[in-house]
Amino acid sequence: MHVVTLRDPTSSLAAQFVPDAGMIGISLTDDGVELLGQRRGLEGYLKAGKTMGIPILYPWANRLGGNTYTAENVTVQLTPGENGVRADPNGLPIHGTLAAYPGWRVVGESTDELTAEVDFGADERLLASFPYPHVLTVSVRLVERALTVRTTVSATGETAVPLCFGFHPYLQVPEAARSQWLIETPPLRHLSLDERGLPTGQALDQPAMRELLGDNGFDDAYDQVGDGAVFAVSGGGRRLEVHFEYGYPAAQIFAPTHEDVVCFEPMTAPTDALSRGNYRSVCPGEQAITQFSIRVA
């Protein structure tokens, strides 16, 4: 597989992406120090869709409430194990259909920027699970100590395209023990989840947070995230910030107690929005652009 290495011309940052494996980001290093959680590695992602690094969760982030959904007046039946659909332990479709998808086409590559695209309207397998023709374009740029990820969804058919996707950046701070990682978030609205990880409809405003991770674990959902919101983890003299620059009004914070990683996941809609209709969409002939960045201090 062709691994693309990007280098920040202004610093010692380097990043690696693999378009042939779902356009996944597999590495972000600062002077050789790895800042992305490797988990089961690229092999685990290719064989079983086990996430690592910075995967895109598309066309829906997190899980759906069942194997059938209706969106934009179209009803879709999903079958786990077919057409890229994977199931969580409860049998619910999770993280979309593009895990390790090999059909990305590189349309631009330089020392500090990479752009690749997928034409959903040209792949029957993709349309079977998400029948909304469009072109998905992801551009990543590494400059001035920031990795910026810009996503464009261009509706090419006669049906509007729901926006329910997200990214899952696994961050780590190797210089400090997990218990000493300092977590910071802006004010958010915390969504109550049921035992399957689906929103119950209840929510509670949460003030800005700044606290040590300690022995705590997170798998928490939020909405009403404003453009420009900043989430951060720091420790041992290093600080990693995830900036929700625009187009990501929802988030998931994931920090399992048994792993030295924390994720601030930018999402265009809350969990199960594709089934519930609480998403925005791209009208035929139009496009939507979203952007987030990971900044290293």
Cα–Cα distance for residue pair 115/150, rounded to 1 Å? 9
How far apart CA 246 and CA 73 sit, in angstroms, is: 27
Q: Is the pTM of this model over 0.85?
A: yes
Q: Which residues of the chain have pLDDT under 50?
A: none
pLDDT at position 181: 98
Domain count, the chain: 1
Show the tokens assigned to 248.
């990501």
Closest by alpha carbon to 100, among 140, 64, 136, 58? 58
Per residue in 193-222, pLDDT (tens digit) is 999 999 999 999 999 999 999 999 999 999
User: 201-240 as b/e, with b when 16 or more CB fall inside 10 Å?
Assistant: eebeeeeeeeeebeeeeeebbbbbbeeebebbbbbeebeb
Which residues, other chains included, contact 172 with Cβ-Cβ below 8 Å and sequence gap of 6+? 34, 35, 36, 37, 260, 261, 262
Could you list the residue range(s) of the whole structural domain that residue 142 is in?
Answer: 4-296
The Cβ-side half-sphere exposure at 97, using a 13 Å CA radius, reads 21
Structure letter (DSSP) for residue 88:
-
Q: How far apart are alpha carbons 281 and 118 in whole angstroms?
A: 18
Nearest to 58 by CA among 134, 146, 109, 1: 134
**Secondary structure letter of residue 23 according to DSSP:** S
pLDDT at site 236: 96
Cβ–Cβ < 8 Å for 173, 235: yes
Helices (H) then strands (E): counts for the chain = 3, 25
Q: Which CATH number does the domain housing residue 90 bear?
A: 2.70.98.10
| Centroid of chain to Cα 152 | 14
Q: What is the pLDDT of residue 1?
A: 86
